Amino acid sequence: LFGDSTFVAAGDNGTVLTSSDGITWTSRTSGTTNNLYGGAYYNYGGYRSILLVGSSGKTLYFTDNYTSLTAWAAPSMTTNLFGFVRGGSTWVYVGSSGTIYTAGDTSEDVTARTSGTTESLRRVFYVGE
pLDDT digits (tens, 9 = 90+) for 64-121: 777 888 888 788 888 999 999 888 888 899 999 999 999 887 667 899 999 999 999 9
Is the CB of residue 53 less than 8 Å from the CB of residue 11? no
Is the CB of residue 103 less than 8 Å from the CB of residue 76? no
Cα Rg, the chain, nearest whole Å: 14
What is the C-alpha separation between 23 and 8, in angstroms, rounded? Answer: 12
What is the C-alpha separation between 127 and 120, in angstroms, rounded? Answer: 22
Look at residue 107 in the predicted model and tell me its pLDDT. Answer: 65
pLDDT digits (tens, 9 = 90+) for 34-79: 999 998 887 777 777 888 999 998 888 887 777 888 888 788 888 9
Which parts of the chain fold into alpha helices (H)? none
Is the CB of residue 40 less than 8 Å from the CB of residue 93? no
State CA 60 to chain mean position distance. Answer: 6
What is the C-alpha separation between 99 and 113, in angstroms, rounded? Answer: 7
